[in-house]
Amino acid sequence: MASSPDVPSADNTPENPGSGSLSETPETTGATGGVQRRGRVRGRRAAVMAVPATLAVAGLAVLTAQGALGVQLYISGMPFTVTAKSLDGTGFEQFGGLDTMADGSPNAGDTGGQVLVVTSAIKKATLDSLCQSVDLGGTNLLIKAGSGKTKVEATDLTTDSTLLTGDASFNNIEIGNDASTLTKAGVKGPIGVFSQQADTVHIDNLRQTNYKTTAGTFTLPGLKLSFSDSGC
């Protein structure tokens, strides 16, 4: 949480999804007759392979590789916001890549069907006052949990993000690993991709813009789902 180049803005949503791999992307001819989309996706591939080290030092924006759990999940193309007062995690990894939308999605934009994301993988996480919201156009679907004595807990948690901010601290951090050699959260990325990992992570004032979240288990005490004029 969460997601680590030319990261798409909130106005740029994916279109015309490919296979989701970093090696195959459909070639599309633009209005001028030139191959446009393929060039953009090639640029994203290069960005995944060469994440600036300064972002890794900050510990909040190292890009991810596709499919942290090794399962192809097509994203809806609708980003959602996640916030928490704090997150404590044991077994932390980050590395960079692309998420892909399903063919024919009405949320397709002009990005070639792929979104450059930051995946954060945490073996065991605890979150204080979790809030998640999705803008549905005129209203927000709002989910809140863990604001009481019992906090939200998750195992094998991964988030694919385009924005991750907060005040972070790490224990025994390793920066610059090859993503295929990661060991802290049980997730491995593609060979040759820049990554980082740590024994533990603590983040205060967590805020993420996510496209996908997966977890082995997710416990949400005090769960409340509602519609709201404002999001998280």
Per-residue pLDDT reduced to its tens digit, 28-38 = 444 444 444 55
Structure token pair of residue 86: 């704090």
Give 3's pLDDT tier (boundaries 50, 70, 90): very low
In this prediction, what percent of the chain has a pLDDT beyond 70?
69
State yes or no: pLDDT of 10 exceeds 80: no
Would you call 13 exposed, middle or buried from its count of C-beta atoms within 10 A (0-12, 13-18, 19+)?
buried
* CB atoms closer than 10 angstroms to residue 114: 29
Query: What is the structure's pLDDT at 219?
Result: 97
Q: Is the pTM of this model over 0.85?
A: no
C-alpha–C-alpha distance, residues 232 and 230, integer Å: 7
Give 41's pLDDT tier (boundaries 50, 70, 90): low
Query: What is the structure's pLDDT at 39?
Result: 56
Which residues does 225 contact at the CB level (< 8 Å), separation at least 6? Answer: 141, 142, 143
Q: Where are the beta strands (DSSP E) in the chain?
A: 80-100, 114-128, 130-135, 140-145, 152-171, 174-178, 194-214, 217-219, 224-228
71-81 pLDDT tens trace: 568 999 999 99
Query: What is the structure's pLDDT at 109?
Result: 84
